[in-house]
Amino acid sequence: MNEFRLPDLGEGLQEAEIVAWHVTAGDHVVTDQPLVAVETEKAVVEIPSPRSGRIAELLARPGERVQVGAPLLVFETEGTSRETGTVVGELAPAEPAPAAPRGTAPQTTPAAGPAPGRAPVRAAPAVRARAKALGVDLTRVTPSGTDGTVTLADVEAASGGLAKVGEGERETTGEALRSARRTMALNMARAGREVVPATLMDDADIEGWRPDEDVTVRLIRAILAGCEAEPALNARFDGASLAVHPNPRLDLGIAVDDPEGLFVPVLRDVGGDDAAGWRRRIDALKAAVRDRSLSPADLRGATFTLSNFGTIAGRHATLVVVPPQVAILGAGRTVDRPVRSGGGIVLRRMLPLSLTFDHRAITGGEAARFLRAVIADLERMG
């Protein structure tokens, strides 16, 4: 078979729409005779015939969008009627690598490593740079681009949590969870490279709390109060342009410990819900972590993070701010501490708090005012 594939008709175009065929199957055409009009993002262009011959089949209908490199038509394989001398060069480009259909998420972690003698990876310099920055091994990325090229999206998808929110296909869920430690490593490495951390530590006096007080819910309420007092801490910082973008709402990442690694599912729009709603949704997120039904989208886009490590151990900590977030609050193990009260000393139950912030984006004053508001809210009764 002798296929003619859609060439790149502009400069880096991906596809074209068939406007009208000027020929039908069975027609004999000569070199450079107009075959079909197609519309790209830039232009309506006439595609001439690359050779003389009889057309066996048209492979796309008017109105159909055809990817660059996909077959447009098939010429009859012929003997005698072939006009030698007018056919120049090779018509069919090299067989493109089996590419995933566009719009589906590429597989992130192939089961096996590269086969011996495998062809070199095709990737643009920017894609290679990104892969290097994210620690992604290009030979392990399934390419989705034309002719088997690895795209930026492939690299970011392969890197897990750093990618944009994808289409949310469930197929990718298991992969994302299995790569949780990898994601953690990449995120923390990036944070270590970019962020300038500073930490404030203090205690909230929770002596007045009811015994059944929901610590996590109280911490969420306190963070919301902190963000209202000092919105600068609920922001996104772009280290490249050095721009701070305030977030319109609080999407709180809540660190969840798991044998497979660290998961930080996101509680969306904290301000738009109440304590009962938070608790219900947190339980659902934790259950999703346990039964591995969390989607990658559930793990992305936090604007602030809470780490309640004190449920295990630890009082104060210097935490890691994951860009583009600018701060994280940690709650330690509660302890009874002697506090001066009037003329004497009493024991009060204290909740240790650690606020780590990115000093590139946040001033010490802003961080301290935030922490003051958090403490005030935690110390409020009921």
Partner 1 sequence: MTTVATFSIAFTRILAPSGELVAPLPAFAADPAELVALFRAMVLTRTFDAKAVALQRTGRLGTYASSLGQEAVAVGIGAAMRPADVLVPSFREHGAQLMRGVSAKELLLFWGGDERGNDFAGPREDFPVCVPVGSNAPHAVGVALAFRLRKEKRAVVCVVGDGATSKGDVAEALNMAGVWKVPAVFVVNNNGWAISVPLERQTAAVTLAQKAVAAGIPGEQVDGNDVIAVRSVLERVLARARDGGGPSLVEAVTYRLSDHTTADDARRYRDDAEVSRHWAEEPLVRLRTYLTQRGIWTKQDEETLLQECGRAVEEAASAYLATPPREPAAFFDHTFAALPADLAEQRAGMTAERRGEP
With binding defined as CB under 8 A, does residue 88 bind partner 1?
Answer: yes
85 binds partner 1 (CB under 8 A): yes
Instruction: Output the smallest distance, CB 98 to partner 1, in A.
Output: 19
Cβ–Cβ contacts within 10 Å for residue 289, how many?
Answer: 20
Nearer to partner 1 by Cβ, of 90 and 291: the residue is 90
Work out whether 8 is an interface residue with partner 1 (CB under 8 A): yes
Cite the DSSP H helix spans in 112-164. Answer: 125-134, 152-158
Which CA distances in Å does 162 have to 117, 141, 165, 249, 323? 31, 15, 9, 21, 10
Q: Does the footprint of partner 1 cover residue 44 (CB under 8 A)?
A: yes
Q: How far apart are CA 18 and CA 134, in angstroms?
A: 39
Identify which of 222, 210, 211, 218 has the alpha carbon closest to the alpha carbon of residue 275.
218
| Under 8 Å between Cβ of 31 and 50 | yes
86, 318, 341, 363: which one binds partner 1 (CB under 8 A): 86
Q: Nearer to partner 1 by C-beta: 75 or 370?
A: 75
Question: Does 120 engage in binding with partner 1 (CB under 8 A)?
Answer: yes
Q: Are strands 28-29 and 34-39 parallel, antiparallel or unpaired?
A: unpaired
Six token digits for residue 54: 């009889």
The footprint of partner 1 on this chain (CB under 8 A) covers a number of residues equal to 29
How far apart (Å, rounded) are the C-alpha atoms in residues 131 and 266? Answer: 26
The reply to whether 113 sits near partner 1 by the rule CB under 8 A is no
Q: 116-123, long-range: CB within 8 Å, 24+ apart, which pairs?
A: 119/148, 121/150, 122/97, 122/147, 122/148, 122/149, 122/150, 123/149, 123/150, 123/155
Residue 103, burial from CB neighbour count under 10 angstroms (0-12, 13-18, 19+): exposed
Out of 3, 9, 178, 255, point to the residue binding partner 1 (CB under 8 A). Answer: 9
Q: How far is the CB of 93 from partner 1 (least distance, A)?
A: 7
The answer to whether 76 contacts partner 1 (rule: CB under 8 A) is no
Among 16, 29, 50, 157, binds partner 1 (CB under 8 A): 50
Residues 1 and 57: their CA atoms lie apart, in Å, by 11
Which range binds partner 1 by CB under 8 A, 39-47, 129-137, 265-273, 368-376? Answer: 39-47
Q: Which is nearer to partner 1, 87 or 152 (CB)?
A: 87
- Asked if 78 is part of the footprint of partner 1 (rule: CB under 8 A), the reply reads no
**Least Å distance between CB 144 and partner 1?**
21
Q: Which of 25, 28, 30, 42 binds partner 1 (CB under 8 A)?
A: 42
CB of 88 to partner 1, least distance (A): 5
- Residue among 43 and 126 whose Cβ is closer to partner 1: 43
